[in-house]
Amino acid sequence: MKISVIGAGAMGGATVEGLIKGQQFKNEDITVSDPSQAVVDKFAKMGVSVTTDNKLAADAADIVCVVVKPWLVEKVLTDIKPELDPKKQLLIVIAAGVSSESIKGWLGEKCPPLFLVIPNIAIAEMASMTFVVPVGASKEETQKVVDIFDEMGHTLITDEQHLASGTTLASCGIAYAMRYIRAAAEGGVELGFKADDAKKIVMQTMKGAVELLEASGLHPEAAIDLVTTPGGVTIKGLNEMEHAGFTSAVIRGLKAGLK
C-alpha cells in the first residue's frame, strides 16, 4: 500500500513525520509532493520518495492525502483530477472548512471514496487527536483510514456537521493548551523558578493530569476533589482563577473558533 501526501507545510509535514515513525507504511511507499525544494530535500533525507509534481504523486498512490490551505484545495484537486482512479484509490483531504459537497463538485465522477480528516500537529509525535468523516466509503475503507491515524494518536469517526467543533476543540485546542503552559511557566518564574525549570514542571504536571484521568476514568472535577482540602491552597488558587473567568474564557475561546 502506497500513500502520497500533497502539501508538506506545517500540518502536512507533521503528518509525514508521523507516517515515517509508524508501521503502516515503509518509507519507500510514502511520497511527499511540495513546490518547495527545501521541503522535498528535507523529506528526501528521511528516506521517503519526493517530487514537486502533484500529478506524479497522485498517480503513484493507493491513498492520496491532500494537505494544503483551504483556498488551495480546489486548485490542487483540479490539477490531479486526471490521475485519480475512484476504483483503486482513497482520497483524504485535510483542510478546515472545505466541504465534501465542494470536493465532489470539483471532481465529479473522478472522486474516489473520500475522507475529510482533521488531525492536530501532535501527529508528528504519534499523539494527535484526529477526526475522520467518511464520505461514500465502505466500512473496510473507513477502517483502513482509521487504522492509519489511530497509529498516530487517537481517532474519532464523526459527521461533517461536527467537524468544525472538533477542529476548535482539538486542533485549535492544542494551541490553547500551549498557551496555558506558557502562562503557568511565567507564573513559575514569578514564584522563583528558572524559566526552563518552570516549563518542565508545568509540562510534567499536565502530562500527569492527563495520565491520571485516563487511568482512573474520573471526571476532572472528581479528580480535583482529591487534591483540594478545606481551606487549602489548591481551592484558593482555583477560586481565584474562576473569579478571573477561567472556565468562561476557555468556553468562549472554543466557541469563537466556530465563527
Q: Which residues are annotated as a binding site?
A: 6-11, 54
Query: Which residue type is seen at 183?
Result: A
For 169-192, letters b (16+ CB in 10 Å) and e give bbbbbbeeeeeeeeebbeebeeee
Q: List, in sequence order, every residue forming a beta bridge with 131; answer none if it has no partner.
A: 118, 156
* Max Cα-Cα span within the chain: 69
Three-class SS of 147-165: HHHHCCEEEEECCHHHHHH
Binding positions for NADP(+) are 6-11
Q: What are phi and psi of 157, to 5 degrees?
A: -80, 130
Binding positions for NADPH are 54
- Cα–Cα distance measured from residue 140 to residue 159, given in angstroms and rounded to the nearest whole number: 18
Q: Where would I find the H helices in the chain?
A: 10-21, 37-44, 54-59, 73-80, 100-107, 139-150, 163-166, 172-190, 195-216, 220-226, 233-243, 246-256
Query: Which residues have a Cβ under 8 Å from the Cβ of 49 and sit 6 or more positions away?
Result: 28, 30, 31, 32, 60
Q: Which of 113, 8, 27 is nearest to 67 (CA)?
A: 8
Q: Which three cell numbers stand for residue 61?
A: 498512490
